[in-house]
Amino acid sequence: MRLLKFALGALLPSYGFSQLSSCPQPELRYTPPRILPGFSLTKIADGFAHPRQIAIDRRGQLVVASLGDGLVGLKTAYDANGCPSATTKRVIVPDDGMNFTHSVLFSRDYKRLYASTPDLALSWEYDSRLFKVKGTGKVLIKGMALKNPLAITRAMAIPKRYPNLLLVFRSSEGDNDTAASAISTGRSMIKIFDLRKVPEGGYDYVRDGVVFAHGVRDSVDFTEDRYRNFWGVDNGADVITRYGESIGMDNPADEVNFLGEVCPDEGAMTPPNYGFPACHGVWNSSALANNTLNLQVGQTFTIYPQIFTDQQCQTETVPPRLSIFPHSAPLGIRFYNPHHPDLGDELVDSAFITYHGPTGHKIVNVPFNRRTVAAPPTTKQGTTDFIWTDPSINLADCKSEINVGPTAIECLSPVGLTFDEAGRMYFTSDQTGEVFVVTRGSK
Domain map (residue ranges) of the chain: 2-440
Find the mean pLDDT for residues 277-286: 96
pLDDT exceeds 70 at position 56: yes
pLDDT of 368: 97
pLDDT of 405: 85
pLDDT of 50: 96
What SS3 string covers the chain? CHHHHHHHHHHCCHHHCECECCCCCCCCCCCCCEECCCEEEEEEECCCCCEEEEEECCCCCEEEEECCCEEEEEEEEECCCCCEEEEEEEEEEECCCCCCCCCEEECCCCCEEEEECCCCEEEEEEECCCCEEEEEEEEEEECCCCCCCCCCCCCEECCCCCCCEEEEEECCCCCCCCHHHHHHCCCCEEEEEEHHHCCCCCEECCCCCEEEEECCCCCCEEEECCCCEEEEEECCCCCCEECCEECCCCCCCEEEEEEEECCHHHCCCCCCECCCCCEEECCCHHHCCCCCCCCCCCCEEECCCCCCCHHHHHHHCCCCCEEECCCCCEEEEEECCCCCCCCCHHHCCCEEEEECCCCCCEEEEECEECCEECCCCCCCCCCEEEEECCCCCCHHHECCCCCCCCCCECCCCEEEEEECCCCCEEEEECCCCEEEEEEECCC
Binned at pLDDT 50, 70 and 90, residue 420 comes out as very high
pLDDT of 117: 96
Question: Tens of pLDDT along 217-226?
Answer: 999 999 999 9
Of 240, 228, 257, 384, whose CA–CA distance to 321 is shortest?
257
Binned at pLDDT 50, 70 and 90, residue 8 comes out as very low
pLDDT of 14: 40
Q: In what order do the strands lie in the sheet with 203-204?
A: 104-106, 112-116, 121-127, 132-142, 203-204
Binned at pLDDT 50, 70 and 90, residue 2 comes out as very low
pLDDT of 438: 97
Task: Give dist(CA 383, CA 154) in Å, integer.
Answer: 25
First CA to last CA across the chain, in angstroms?
Answer: 28
The rounded mean pLDDT for the chain is 92
Of 68, 7, 70, 19, whose CA–CA distance to 43 is shortest?
19
Binned at pLDDT 50, 70 and 90, residue 265 comes out as confident
Domain 2-440: assigned CATH number: 2.120.10.30
Question: Tens of pLDDT along 323-374?
Answer: 999 999 999 999 999 999 999 999 999 999 999 988 999 999 999 998 999 9
**Across 112-116, 122-126, 240-244, 401-405, least confident range:** 401-405
Task: Give dist(CA 90, CA 106) in Å, integer.
Answer: 18
Task: Give dist(CA 352, CA 330) in Å, integer.
Answer: 10
For the whole model, what pTM was predicted? 0.94
Binned at pLDDT 50, 70 and 90, residue 184 comes out as low
pLDDT exceeds 90 at position 148: no
- Please compute Rg for the chain using Cα positions: 21
Question: Tens of pLDDT along 57-88?
Answer: 999 999 999 999 999 999 999 999 999 999 99
Find the mean pLDDT for residues 221-246: 95
Percentage of the chain lying above the pLDDT 90 cut? 83
pLDDT exceeds 50 at position 103: yes
pLDDT exceeds 50 at position 161: yes
- If one compares 34 and 239, the residue with the highest pLDDT of the two is 34
